[in-house]
Amino acid sequence: MTAAAMQARPPQTPRQSADQVREILIVDDHPLMCDALALTLKISFGLKNVRTARSLGAALEGIRAQGAPDAVILDLNLPDARGAEGIVTLRRQLPDVPITMISADLDSAMISAAMAAGAQGYISKSLSREALVDSLRRMWEGEHVTPEGWAPDQADAEDEAKAELARRFATLTPQQMKILRLICQGKANKEISYDLSIAEATVKTHITAIMSKINARRRTQAVLLANTVRLFEAG
């Protein structure tokens, strides 16, 4: 994918200028990709501090220990998070930090889900260094950058509905997110209790809270809503 294969949504009021982005967090479980991206950012933006994490859990631990970064670059598929879950979880922790989703998967529905969940942009891992740097700079200036061919203007109403749903999922606690993931895998309460080493009554209490937060009446509806925003899978 070349630089020409990118398009920008209308600029928003910039959160900050690209020059003010001094500390980046890269969340990617592929060591070579992570190291290459970190080196590219250090050289291209003159950064001295590029933090890395190999999983969503490690990223959250790093944020708690070291504070919020100025920007995040997040892999779509991680050992402990697939699909939009990473965006939803990080957006809860970092409401004002631009988060860029990076992936080889350019499925239109997945791009829509990531953008609705609060991504500042969605870029391909196959971009050239020049296109990558340009895309990140534009995002850090406030633009939404997505692959060419993805047409947000044709799905504004649907995307807004997904964004509202993603905001509801973002209210779930980490334990509730784990339980919802297991529900989506078809696990019964007893199995969830065993997997998480908690009492079955505690599982039921969490499920009641989950249903209330996402406005679902049945487990099947909860699964459908999670699938709507591609919460736990990449498609």
DSSP 97: S
Residue 4 confidence (pLDDT): 35
Domain 171-228 CATH assignment equals 3.40.50.300:
no
Question: What are the boundaries of each domain within the chain?
Answer: 3-156, 171-228
Please identify every stretch of the chain with a pLDDT value under 50, giving residue numbers as ranges. Answer: 1-14, 234-235
| pTM score, whole prediction | 0.78
Q: Which CATH number fits domain 3-156: 3.20.20.140, 3.40.50.720, 2.60.40.10, 3.40.50.2300?
A: 3.40.50.2300
Rounded CA-CA distance 112/137 in Å is: 21
Rounded CA-CA distance 72/26 in Å is: 6
- Containing 192, the helix (H) or strand (E) segment is helix 189-196
Residue 153 confidence (pLDDT): 55
Rounded CA-CA distance 33/29 in Å is: 8
Residue 154 confidence (pLDDT): 53
Rounded CA-CA distance 43/32 in Å is: 17
Work out whether strand 121-124 and strand 99-103 pair parallel, antiparallel, or are unpaired.
Answer: parallel
* Cα angle, residue 52 at apex, residues 48 and 108 outer, rounded to 5°: 115
Residue 131 confidence (pLDDT): 93
Residue 17 confidence (pLDDT): 67
Residue 14 confidence (pLDDT): 44
Residue 102 confidence (pLDDT): 93
